[in-house]
Amino acid sequence: VLIRDGLYQLHCEVLFLRDSRQPDKFHPRISMHSAATFRDLPETTRRILDSIYVDYYYHRHNEFWKQQALKKLPALLSSTDMLVCGEDLGMVPDSVPEVMQQLEILSLEIQRMPKKPHHEFAMPCDAPYLSVCTTSTHDMNPLRAWWLEDKTVTQRFYNRALGLQGPAPDECEPWIAERIVNQHLESNAMWIILPWQDWMAIDSRYTHGNPHSERINVPSNPRNFWCYRMHIQLEELLKANDINQHILQLITASGRI
């Protein structure tokens, strides 16, 4: 296994890939910055390669992807009466927001994945109307587990995103989870769709003992299986009038019903 993994790692020590259609040309490999080969280069060379990388992945093909989207997406949109939400997160062309607005596709807004440069957190109050706003996705740690990931980041979130003073609690206590949920409910987003785990976080009687067991998927782990199951049966949850009424009150107070 060690030999195999070592060979895999060596195989990834490539900065440029030969173009399959034009063998005399090359393009930068995605995530080339993570390669030891890149890190070992002189700083001047790294800067030059980085500028090539940024131009290739973030600028050169913007118009191409825009035209492709405007050609293909209308056919998909016209085939259904459902509202369509685009997962416009991470590494996306600059033309994506323009196309989504033009086609009235809802964006996905996540507080821990800000779209504005140099922002550590997004504020739900800034979410556009044509959007789905949520606390977490299946590919992320739910609130309680995320709170334990990095105490420094959690502290900044506590002070800046939540606007609270003093040291952050060691755990994401129910009142904190409720405050985060309320931030989302009170946003301008058309839809607020929260993971079940984050709803349950507002009442410690309904959370799982181990916060990390509430995560559904770990994209970076190819051996991760979607084994998550609710630890409370639906029949039991339907009878849980206390938390059901609590959630109803929060939604009602936000003016969403």
| Cα pseudo-dihedral 163, 164, 170, 172, rounded to 10 | -60
Q: What is the pLDDT of residue 15?
A: 94
Residue pLDDT, tens place only, 51-108 = 999 999 989 999 999 999 999 999 999 999 999 999 999 888 889 999 999 999 999 9
What DSSP element (H or E) covers 75?
helix 62-77
Q: What is the pLDDT of residue 246?
A: 98
Q: What is the pLDDT of residue 5?
A: 84
Pick out the chain residues at pLDDT < 70.
Answer: none
The answer to whether 112 and 162 are in contact (CB under 8 A) is no
> What span, in angstroms and rounded, lies between the C-alpha atoms of 162 and 168?
10
Q: What is the pLDDT of residue 145?
A: 98
Q: What is the pLDDT of residue 120?
A: 96
Task: Give this prediction's pTM.
Answer: 0.85
Q: What is the pLDDT of residue 72?
A: 96
Q: What is the pLDDT of residue 99?
A: 96
> What span, in angstroms and rounded, lies between the C-alpha atoms of 213 and 27?
40
Helix, strand or coil for residue 243?
Answer: helix
